[in-house]
């Protein structure tokens, strides 16, 4: 337990000292403020109330939190703290479980705040429960990808841009028609955004389940890769 409190204390110190990490943490609320309050002030009309926009906000939230968690892990990797955690009472697996659980919890919190502040315009709240569950799992996937593919924060920053491009493209491809768009479903973002294009709850649950399964597949892959790097 003491090790977990030490991790939380170090996370707070790293975030408050690094403007990039602070901006990443605040990004979900900044995006919400942009869509809800800033865009309606423009002299021309823009669609700011649409299920796809709500879906994009819910999807981008765990991506930002996952990038933040990945940066924190890379910071600890750069300081050679992972070996210390491996011999601590927490052990390395316990450290990874903590690193997985924290971004999921923060993502769920921010997602609930966004749902409360964003006008859902009658969008069924029952559909938002599996949506939040499916979206929040993206955070540990992004974190594990950063921790297993990048060696330091510089590489992590470049990787984060690449991950954002891949995930945003996969989320946008289902909006088009063509057999080639099915390649996007190798990534969870495509399943997630497709669910916001239908009003049928059963179909939404199927798509959110697909998002969860694909996310778990990527999480297991990056988890095993991360464990191999520590051997």
pLDDT in tens, 153-163: 888 888 888 88
Radius of gyration of the chain (CA): 18
Model confidence, pTM: 0.89
Residue with the larger pLDDT of the pair 53 and 191: 191
Whether residue 50 is predicted with pLDDT greater than 80 in this model: the reply is: no
Take residue 160 and report the two structure tokens written for it.
């984060």
Phi (first) and psi of residue 45, to 5 degrees: -80, 135
Percent of residues, the chain, with pLDDT higher than 90:
41
Q: Are 116 and 92 in contact (CB under 8 A)?
A: no
Percent of residues, the chain, with pLDDT higher than 70:
94
Residue with the larger pLDDT of the pair 195 and 45: 195
**pLDDT at position 96:** 84
Contacts of 181 (CB under 8 A, 6+ apart): 173, 174
User: 8-17, 42-51, 86-95, 201-210 — which is least confidently predicted?
Assistant: 42-51
Task: Kindly state the average pLDDT of the residues 46-74.
Answer: 86
Take residue 193 and report the two structure tokens written for it.
């955004």
In angstroms, the CA 231 to CA 50 distance is: 47
**pLDDT at position 46:** 59
Whether residue 48 is predicted with pLDDT greater than 70 in this model: the reply is: no
**pLDDT at position 204:** 93
**pLDDT at position 122:** 66
117-149 per-position pLDDT tens digit: 887 766 778 889 999 999 999 999 999 999 889
Residue with tokens 């063509």: 178
Q: Are 104 and 138 in contact (CB under 8 A)?
A: no
Mean pLDDT for the chain? 86
Residue with the larger pLDDT of the pair 189 and 167: 189
Whether residue 61 is predicted with pLDDT greater than 90 in this model: the reply is: yes
Whether residue 58 is predicted with pLDDT greater than 90 in this model: the reply is: yes
């Amino acid at each position: 337990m003491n090790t977990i409190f030490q991790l939380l204390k170090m996370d707070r110190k790293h975030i408050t000292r690094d403007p990039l990490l602070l901006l990443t943490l605040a990004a979900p609320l900044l995006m919400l403020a942009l869509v809800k309050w800033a865009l309606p002030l423009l002299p021309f009309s823009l669609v700011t109330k649409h299920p796809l926009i709500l879906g994009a906000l819910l999807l981008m939230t765990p991506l930002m939190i996952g990038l933040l968690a990945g940066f924190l892990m890379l910071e600890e990797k750069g300081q050679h703290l992972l070996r210390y955690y491996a011999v601590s009472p927490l052990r390395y697996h316990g450290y990874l479980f903590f690193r997985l659980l924290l971004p999921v919890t923060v993502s769920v919190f921010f997602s609930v705040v966004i749902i409360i502040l964003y006008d859902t315009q009658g969008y069924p709240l029952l559909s938002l429960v599996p949506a939040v569950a499916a979206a929040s799992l993206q955070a540990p996937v992004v974190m594990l990808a950063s921790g297993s593919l990048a060696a330091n924060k510089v590489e992590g920053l470049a990787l984060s841009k690449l991950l954002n491009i891949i995930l945003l493209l996969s989320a946008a491809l289902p909006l088009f028609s063509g057999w080639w768009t099915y390649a996007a479903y190798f990534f969870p973002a495509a399943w997630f955004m497709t669910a916001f294009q239908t009003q049928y709850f059963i179909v939404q649950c199927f798509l959110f389940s697909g998002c969860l399964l694909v996310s778990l597949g990527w999480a297991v892959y990056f988890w095993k890769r991360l464990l191999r790097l520590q051997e």
